[in-house]
Amino acid sequence: MFGLKVVRQNHVGLVETLGKYSREVRAGLNFYIPIFQKVRIVDLAMIPLALQGYSVITKDNAEVQTNVTLNYHVTDARKFEYENSNSVESMIQLVRGHLRDIIGKIDLNEALGSTSKINADLANAIGDLTNTYGIKVDRVNIDELKPSASITESMEKQIRADREKTAAIAKANGEARSIEIETKARNDATVSTAKAEAAATIARADAKAYEIKKLNDMLASVDNKYFTAQQIQAFSELAKSPTNTVVMSKDEIGKYSDIPVTAQVMNQMANDK
């Protein structure tokens, strides 16, 4: 008496005779001997698997929770069923071990910013598991790297501190720049004022020098008659003033007495006494 077993597409049947593997049957209708034989069905299709909340430690001793998804399929049904009591769990342990090793070699900041590289390194490390478990991992991806609550709080404090520091530096730079501009403006104004005053002083000095030069030139061009005339005019002014005493040497009296006008002034001054 024969039994009938239908193996679905993309599956394989493992026939066990009295508990021992005897042969493999493919998709379709297959015969077996009931009681003595049993057909174990193995799915060959790609299977997704999520590894949630796995904790790893980074190089700088930061705890990180990881969520990993992977896709695998069975390549060797015999190895998958008989050479390991739980090939899927063994695969999971292998993935977690490699992930722990990869992340343990890098710092937290590098781990959070380079998930693509971690994915690639993990895929290379896993390789082809067919020889060991009859499984091939087709795709592995780190969905999330989440630091622990204490690390997250510390990071947020650090970010706030960095922002406050940046703002303080920007404010200080702005104030320093404002002071620099104001000081430069004052210095420029002081220099401009000093230059203007210096230019005015030079101009006044030049004008005075020119005046003195012209006076010297004029005095150099006149003769003694001019000075005598000036002295006579002075005596005339003196005769009109309340002053009635003039002190001079004998020689000067003799010199001025020869001038008629001078003599007249002196006589007028004598009569007023």
Q: Are residues 69 and 33 in the same domain?
A: no
Q: Are residues 86 and 136 in the same domain?
A: yes
More reliable by pLDDT, 273 or 28: 28
Q: How many domains are there within the chain?
A: 3
Highest mean pLDDT: which of 20-24, 110-114, 150-154, 245-249?
20-24
Q: Give residue 10's region: left, alpha or beta (phi > 0; psi -120 to 50).
A: left
Q: Are residues 30 and 97 in the same domain?
A: no
Asked which of 92, 127, 147 is the last residue of a domain, the reply is 147
pLDDT tens across 104-146, in order?
898 888 888 888 888 888 888 887 776 788 898 888 888 888 8
Asked which of 95, 118, 147 is the last residue of a domain, the reply is 147
pTM: 0.53
Spatial neighbors of 21 by CB under 8 A, at least 6 apart, are: 14, 15, 78, 82
Task: Answer whether 43's CB lies under 8 Å from 57's CB.
Answer: no
- DSSP element (H, E) containing 205: helix 149-221
Mean pLDDT across the stretch 19-29? 89
Question: What's 123's domain CATH number?
Answer: 3.30.479.30
Type of residue found at 158: Q
Sign of CA dihedral 10, 11, 12, 13: negative
Q: Are residues 57 and 114 in the same domain?
A: yes
- DSSP element (H, E) containing 202: helix 149-221
pLDDT at 11: 93
Asked which of 94, 120, 147 is the last residue of a domain, the reply is 147
Domain residues for the domain of 250 are 223-272
Q: Are residues 51 and 140 in the same domain?
A: yes
Q: How far is CA 109 from the centre of its chain?
A: 19
**What's the mean pLDDT when you consider all of the chain?**
80
pLDDT at 165: 84
CB neighbourhood size of 214 (10 A): 10
pLDDT at 191: 84
Q: Are residues 55 and 36 in the same domain?
A: no
Composition of the chain by helix, strand, coil, percent to 5: 55, 25, 20
Both tokens of 70, joined, read 């992977």
Task: Answer whether 112's CB lies under 8 Å from 56's CB.
Answer: no
Spatial neighbors of 81 by CB under 8 A, at least 6 apart, are: 14, 40, 42, 87, 134
Q: Are residues 37 and 99 in the same domain?
A: no
Q: Are residues 61 and 118 in the same domain?
A: yes
pLDDT tens across 150-190, in order?
666 666 567 777 777 887 888 888 888 888 888 888 888 88
Q: Provide the 3-class DSSP secondary structure of residue 16.
A: strand
Q: Are residues 8 and 84 in the same domain?
A: no
Q: Are residues 54 and 118 in the same domain?
A: yes
Classify residue 218: in a domain, yes or no: no
Residue with structure tokens 């060959």?
Answer: 44
How far apart CA 47 and CA 54 sit, in angstroms, is 20
Classify residue 250: in a domain, yes or no: yes
pLDDT at 210: 79
Task: Answer whether 104's CB lies under 8 Å from 58's CB.
Answer: yes
